[in-house]
Structure 1
Amino acid sequence: MASSLVLSGLVMTIFGLVVALSNLTTQTEAARAFFVFGDSLVDNGNNNYLATTARADSYPYGIDYPTRRPTGRFSNGLNIPDFLSKQLGAESTLPYLSPQLNGQRLLVGANFASAGIGILNDTGIQFVNIIRIFRQLEYFQEYQQRVTALVGAARAKQLVNQALVLITLGGNDFVNNYYLVPFSARSRQYSLPDYVKYLISEYRKILQKLYDLGARRVLVTGTGPLGCVPAELALRSRNGECSPELQRAASLFNPQLTQMLKGLNSQIGSDVFIGVNTQLMSNDFISNPRAYGFITSKVACCGQGPYNGIGLCTAASNLCPNRDVYAFWDPFHPSERANGIIVQQFMTGSTEYMYPMNLSTIMALDSWT
């Protein structure tokens, strides 16, 4: 009897240890911080706090968000960072400018992105007051000082080194700079191939700075199929075909971005930068929307004019009743459901989509090396 009690006690102890270890593993995985830099595709609401026209803080933005209210995300609901946070087992990062980002919530990470910005400082000048990328990096330094004050220098450094980072830049350098108006300053200064080379060289400096600030796992997205978004179809398309010139820009930019990332990784001696082929990810459902359950990839759910591609998405816009069957939410941005499909490719995509590895592989490798 005594021996069976001892055995029973031992079993319970082992069971308790297994549960404790399981909880510890879950906490460790959930504790991975997440940082986001870039433009409107990944802005979680920083522009709500700025005097700018590049905002998504009014109905019907956020119509499918859990609160059914606009959040500053350029989406009917969740955006790409939200889906990535779910994959990390963490709550969504708060905008860096949010007054709620303090105390323990700092340890989740932060979203520094700002709609309208690009690689270049003169991109998006029409939006006036936006957080340009150099300022986002300054905020990242400021963030690290705040976390150091909270948990100490060693823990702060570990949190940043072990974090996942997402950066999304480049699209606005074409649509809100080079091609914004006929004969723009940049298009007079550079031929398209030379402009792309210039963008890549400037982007390299930004990524090097991010590495210098402690980032060690960085997802770097290319541009989407720029010529196929409803805004460009409305401006440039007669029969619904994608704009050849903007498609050419994306096809020049994305391969050179991949080559630049390979060069940076080679120089560092580690796979710090992961190329994310968002052009290919989006092309999948743009070229064959019905295979993904969409009825259209040409018409935006919310907008006006041809393809609902003109102007902003506002309360006065046409609004589709079922957002899940539209690949595009507004003239420029994917719908919540499209964002979810894109992030699934982040997780499991082949090297054609995620180079040199997908996020599932990264998470397996980083637990913890």
Structure 2
Amino acid sequence: MGEGIEGAESGGGRRALFVFGDSLVDSGNNNYLPTTARADSSPYGVDYPTHRPTGRFSNGFNLPDLISQHIGCEAALPYLSPEMRGEKLLLGANFASAGVGILNDTGSQFDGILRIFQQFALFKQYQERLSIEVGAEEAQRIVNESLVLITIGSNDFVNNYFYPPNIASARSLQFTIPNFCSYVISEYRKILMKLYELGGRKVLVTGIGPLGCIPSQLAERSIDGQCVAEVQEAARIFNQLLIKMTTELNNHLTSSVFIVANAFQINMDFINQPKKFGFISSKIACCGQGRFNGIGGCSSFSSLCSNRDLFVFWDSFHPSQHAWEIIANYIFNGTTNYMSPMNLTTILAMDSKFY
């Protein structure tokens, strides 16, 4: 009954990390699922320490990896990994699955993915397994004192409201952009409250990035290479509503449970001034095909840049490892323009026993 880690102090006072969401934070769960939404082939992972694909939609590390490095923890495994057992449970777990959204009909073109309610069901299962290993009280402590990352919402726009390109989707016929954003945020509120009920007490919520500027949208919708205005508007409205909603939740809970990273503003900094951040391009994906390398996915048949650090985007949807490193720095050290109500370093330092 887990005697080897009975009473373990979660890595000597280090936090466990739990991750929920989509391909931006999936570290390999989809490798174990019957879906086409996966990053298990070359050149994904070309800059990862093993130089092999891991299931991360990145040339190397993704955001959960970088957060783990910042807080001094080993990265949590994908929950579906067969290695997820014993002491590995103490590190936390990554439940994210590429293709999912806040809405259950998002990503309907992908079979076999873990919808958000399924990710939560697995989190409950994880907690039961952890209780067997370390006892119910210690398991509860590990969860309550963990850091939770949730990154979700982009697919509700690029793979739902604005999908397929240049054709009116069912959701776009049902809602105006502002009304759709309000609806999605109301559903997201339920998700965040469920996370709280499941034990999350420090939850980093990343807003959605400037979706109108990603290579797939430039390739499909932009005539002149400028960011797509209506997609940008949707992302901007969503993020404004997200900050308002989480502020209200924190007031209701009388605690800064939810910390929001304004991913839109963070990304726009280096999309507008790529050279300032060491990039040569904020429009063209490193790996892909077609206009802006934004058509289809990244595969062994795609064109591939030689220096991934010079590109904001790794593929048609996802940031490069170097872009993620900049985003992570904002999350830990950014001002209130970027982090609401405060950056992650400040909020974690308030729990002094971890530092």
How far apart, CA to CA, are the structure 2 residues paired with 1:26 and 1:177? 39
Residue of structure 2 equivalent to 1:174: 157
Alignment partner of 1:358 is 2:351 = no
Residue 82 (structure 1) aligned with residue 69 (structure 2): no
Alignment of 1:161-240 (within 5 A): 161-181=144-164, 182-240=167-225
Cα distance per residue 1:58-109 (max 9 Å; x no partner): 0000000000000000000000000000011011110010000100000000
Aligned-pair distance for 1:251?
1.0
Partner of 1:262: 247
Following superposition of structure 1 onto structure 2, how do residues 37-76 of structure 1 map, counting pairs within 5 Å?
37-76=20-59
Within 2, Cα distance between the matches of 1:327 and 1:204? 30
Residue 121 (structure 1) aligns with = 104
Partner of 1:14: none
**SS of structure 2 residue aligned to 1:241:** coil
* Letter matched to residue 128 of structure 1: D
Matched, 1:284 2:284: no
Alpha-carbon distance between aligned partners in 2 of 1:332 and 1:26, rounded to the nearest angstrom: 35
Which secondary structure does the structure 1 equivalent of 2:109 belong to? helix
TM-score normalized with structure 2 length: 0.95
Stretch moving more, 294-303 or 354-363: 354-363
Amino acid of the residue matched to residue 340 of structure 2? Y
Which entry has the higher C-alpha Rg, 1 or 2?
1
Q: Does 1:151 find its partner at 2:106?
A: no
Structure 2 equivalent of residue 28 of structure 1: 12
C-alpha contact 2:10 2:91 (8 A) present in aligned 1:
no
CA-to-aligned-CA distance 1:123-168 (integer Å, 9 cap, x gap): 0010111000000011110000000000001100000000000001
Q: Residues 18-45 of structure 1, C-alpha deviation per residue, up to 9 Å, x if partnerless? A: xxxxxx999534x310000000000000
Q: Distance in 2 between matches of 1:130 and 1:354?
A: 30
Distance 1:232 1:299 in 2: 11
**Counterpart of 1:241?**
226
- In 2, Cα distance between equivalents of 1:26 and 1:212: 21
Return the alpha-carbon distance in structure 2 between the equivalents of residues 27 and 44 of structure 1: 21
Between the aligned residues of both structures, percent identity stands at 59
Structure 2 counterpart of 1:100 = 83
Shift of 1:187: 1.1
The counterpart of 1:252, out of the listed 223, 229, 237, is 237
Amino acid at match of 2:257: V
Q: Paired residues, what number?
A: 345
| Cα distance in 2 between the residues matched to 1:124 and 1:349 | 32
Amino acid at match of 2:99: G
Q: Distance in 2 between matches of 1:46 and 1:367?
A: 33
Q: Shift of the alpha carbon at 1:368?
A: 3.2
The one-letter code sitting in structure 2 at the alignment partner of 1:212 is: E
| Partner SS, residue 275 of structure 1 | strand
State the one-letter code of the partner of 2:350: L
1:284-303 C-alpha deviation (Å, 9 max, x unpaired): 11000000000000000000
SS of match in other structure, 1:95: coil
- Alpha carbons 2:11, 2:90 under 8 Å: kept: no
Task: Specify which structure has the higher proportion of helix.
Answer: 1
The residue identity in structure 1 corresponding to 2:297 is L
Taking the aligned partners of 1:26 and 1:309, their CA distance within structure 2 comes to 42
Q: Any idea what the Cα deviations from partners look like across 1:164-187, whole Å, max 9, x if unmatched? A: 000011110000001102211111
Q: Distance in 2 between matches of 1:100 and 1:352?
A: 40
Aligned partners of 2:249, 2:350: CA distance in 1, in Å? 20
TM-score normalised by structure 1 residue count: 0.92
Q: CA RMSD in A?
A: 1.4
For 1:175 and 1:184, the matched residues in 2 are separated by 11
Shift of residue 53, structure 1, vs aligned partner: 1.0
Taking the aligned partners of 2:9 and 2:87, their CA distance within structure 1 comes to 19
Kindly provide the amino acid, as one letter, of the partner of residue 259 in structure 1.
Answer: K
Moved over 6 A (4+): none
The amino acid of 1:230's aligned partner reads P
Write out per-residue CA displacement over residues 213-257 of structure 1, whole angstroms, 9 at most, x where no aligned residue: 110000001100000001101011122100001001011100000
Does the CA-based 8 Å contact 2:10-2:142 persist in structure 1?
no
Unaligned runs of 5+ in 2: 1-7
Equivalent residue, structure 2, for 1:7: none
Give the 3-state SS of the residue equivalent to 2:190 in structure 1: helix
Give the residue type in structure 2 aligned to 1:141: K
- Name the amino acid aligned to 2:281: T
- Give how far 1:363 is off: 1.9
**1:20 corresponding residue in structure 2:** none
Tell me the secondary structure at the aligned position of residue 53 of structure 2: coil
Q: Which amino acid aligns with 1:200?
A: I
